[in-house]
Structure 1
Amino acid sequence: MKRARAPKKICHSLAIWIVLAALLCPPVLAQGEASSTGTPQEAFLETLTPEERAWLDDHPVIRVAQDPAWAPVEFVDERGQPSGMSEDYLRLVEERLGITFQRVTGLTWQEAYAQMQRWEIDMTTSVAVTPQRSRFWAFTSPYQQVPIVIVAASNVTYIGDIAELSGARVAVVDGYAASDWLPRDYPDIELLRVASAEQGLQAVQRGEAFAYVENMLVVGYYLARLKLTTLKIAGDTPYANGQCMAVRKDWAPLAGILDKALASISEAERDEIYRKWLPVRYEHGPDALVLRRVVLIAAAILAGSAAWILRLKREIAARKSAQQAAAQSALHFQQLFDSSPMPVALIGIDGRFLGVSKRWADSYGYALEDAPTLQRWWELVCPDPNRRRDAINEWEAALQSARSHGTQIGPFSHRIVGRDGQARATEITATLLGNDVLTVFQDVTQRQTAEEEQIRLLKEAERSGQAMRSALEEQERTREQMLETIDQLRRFQEVTVGREHDMIALKSEVNGLLERLGQTPKYTVGL
């Protein structure tokens, strides 16, 4: 993280109060009171075109969702009803249009945001413009501007540049504009996505995040309400919540109608909303007493500035030393990672890779920029959606069991496809390190290939042994047949031995009989 700059520190507190005062000044949109003739509604409806009035007639039901936990901008009160600054603006818009919006309640901001993206909810009342949101929303012009600030522990010195948070874990509410802006503009900041402003502040208080980035009005409200005395506004950001109303993109005419309604809200009506919700009362012009107080405060600031600068220099020196130590520690950590003979990765509680070894990137061909999260890594290395779903479910179940019961994570065996398209048999094991997970990826392709070759050779040897046993059995049967034939010959020989003269005599008798019959003798008889 970068070193804080002294001049910004000196003016920081004064700048915060100047910004708060600027917030109380009504935007240029205000057009003054309604016409002296007719009701405010009638006067306003005259400003609409026939097409706009026809559009309102064709759309009698307009569903509106608001953030239930973003006080004082918008929230749900103890009776479960929408409340806050944006709700007051919405009621003034209702008066001018002569309609009643259908308020959708009982949802978290994340749930409502998902439904608004699908156009199941038609509009919302207080959001900033981002490129992602512009794909599905049409926006009004901003009706108020609120700076976004950095909240940190009270012992943290002034953060003059949000880039100083590089490498730090920063909490943001998931679905808020900052959750789109920060990863786009400061990818080195590690985001901890939370569900509400209250959770974001408590994450910093518990040490789960170094800082929290939020709308300054919301920060002031919750710091006071939750009595978080160990936290403070530690710096500003280049961002501001240009609070707009937003409607589904296919209802773009409604955005123009709302723009006209917001522009017709008078300065007095805007002042009343600010006085109702802000702890600082706005007056249109300072009187002499106010001026004297401002002079005294300025004198006190100037008198104390010298001591403040000296203290700031000491704090900057201490912070620089701490940053150097942290950088050295990070270097040693990365060197330890890179010395591992196997791919190693450290995964945060939110599924983001906090660090990977060089062997990890070399083995699969994907750098940390290609796969900043475990989810994205699975999408790259496991293209089959069914196998990927099974692998993720297996991992999450083992991780949950390890966190609950201290059980081992893995080993899991998967075929991992690298950037080169080659599939590698990989065995994954992991160990919990606090909330993080140290994960080892072992390429077992050669071992698995050797095991498969060994199994093949065993099967081949078994087949060869079977063939040899068959040959020996055939040889044994042949030997037994030969012995039986020899035995038969021996028995025949035993029967015929000693009967040669009988046979000769018999043949002679046959020959004599044939001669008497006048035929040629058949046998040759000799001694």
Structure 2
Amino acid sequence: MRKSIYIAILFVLLQTSLTFAQNSIDSASGRPINSEETLNVTASLLELTNEEIAYLAQKKTIKVCVDPGWMPFEAVSNNKHVGMSADYLDLVAQKLGVNFQLVPTESWPESLENVKSRKCDILPLAMATPGRKTYLNFTTPYIVIPLVIATTKEKPFIADLPDVLHHRMGLVKGYAFTEFLRMEYPEMDITEFDTIYDGLTALEKNEIYGFIDNLTTISYEITHYFSSSIKISGRINRNWELGIAVRNDDPVLLHILDKAVKSIGSNPVQEIHSKWIAVTYEHQFDYSIFWKVVAAVGVVGFLFLSRYRKVNRFNKTLQDLNMRLKESEESFRSLVDNAHEGIVVVQNKRLVFVNPRACEMTGYDHDALLNMETFLPLIAPEARETMMANHLKRLAGKEAPVRYESQFLKRDGTVYPIELTGVLIRWKNNPATLNILSDISERKASEDAVRFMALHDNLTRLPNRYLLMERLEQSLAQARRSRQPMAVLFMDLDGFKQVNDTYGHDVGDKLLKGVAQRVQKLMRDSDTLARMGGDEFVILLPQVDHLSGVETLISRIDKALQLPFQFDSLEVKSRASVGFSLFPENGETAEELLRVADQNMYVVKQKGRSKSA
């Protein structure tokens, strides 16, 4: 009966490797990548129509135009398409068996003109607008990013776009939101630039007040070219939804690409985002085992597909494969025993089969696992109910998630995240579940690192503007229910520019970190100290009893900053001007409280620290 488990396991593994095996055969035999066999497999996997299959067989090359300077999303480097969209197109090319050919351009407007005049077939990353819909169709978006406003570092916090409509703002020529913002705010003073770099250069020279684009690209440009002069000062309550734009005289290509985009799984997406969004995180992966698995699957796929070269349906492929698997049990036993994932079979709530990797993941030996009364001791207590419910639903033939995340409990008490893929099988003529277990600790740590970087200031490690606004909104909701007063303090360092100009930005950065550490020690656990950018900080006090409590904290901050900062042999003095606002006296929204606190801070700065406002 162990042959059944090997057959079922290979079925699961070959679902992800069949396309790879087919492409390997095509490449080795010298046939075109979109051969009849590949198209039939593609048709089964993506549910392509006969018309779409015929289209792929005839279509040799799909011409692509991109934004030549929009990293990390896409760019042209040495006449080669690079960036996130290039990696997505590689995935699509593997699924469809087509070639994408870059048509180089000098700017995004030129790329738009090329696709409009049909010199290009697609734009890999574009957002639908009324103007573009006259000559383009769009797939389902596969990247969604927020819009932000960048300014020079001395500018104050921007609560929302209407606050700066009277200022000149910069955007990239031809971008979707340039068109949308002109329609929504006709009175807005907009200056258009060929590239983001050109716009940020003009911003640095104070030729415009602010520059609007997406968070990822602006952060990339600031980090690489403008870290000392430009900051992100606000977020627009809009998202940039990007999909593949296809010339509207080719609806068949649109439908094919939309199916391909929807078929891309979460793991490739995570790998692409981790590769191009700067997060310092080292992964260790046992490539020796990986390549053994790939080689074994590739050999099996090659032997099978070389004999059955006329594949008409994917189901027929699996039936023929099962016949050959019965003759190759030892090969599949090696595949399972050397798999990087844990593989277990559960029947009547007991483990009836485990591979060596499952033993390694749990900390139990083979016999100890098979002697357990139930599999539940391997699951963290908070996840057991959900795990058991999914197992019973699958046995009963009811709808249950095929792949989901859970928490594993090792023998030594360690809890760590796993991803489980489960299917219903027959084991000794009775129903059971085959479960593939993947340790996703590294992926989760990477996601946590990404989230921390998104919500915290890189220099001081304090919460940034976005996390502050989230906590401020939560505190306001609680204060409105309880009518409990709360306070917001806006703090700006005095003479910080002079420190930078006199001693350099390295000393300025050390001073910012030193100030953050001293003030943080004065905070309660419920309070939040956030850096807004430059030398501006905001303190959120979700609970205050009296005005005197706020004034006492301001006095303690002033006292803490009276002592000079010592950086090696250099002694630096710094003080701060602090303004505050109270809920509900000075406002009942986050924007009102921040604006009043900011205004009061400038009053304090003009009067001198001995005054308060």
TM-score where L is the length of structure 2: 0.43
Q: Which structure has more strand as a fraction of its residues?
A: 2
Could you say which structure has the higher helix fraction?
Answer: 1
Structure with the larger RCO, 1 or 2 (CA within 8 Å, 6+ apart) = 1
User: Could you tell me the TM-score, scaled by structure 1's length?
Assistant: 0.50
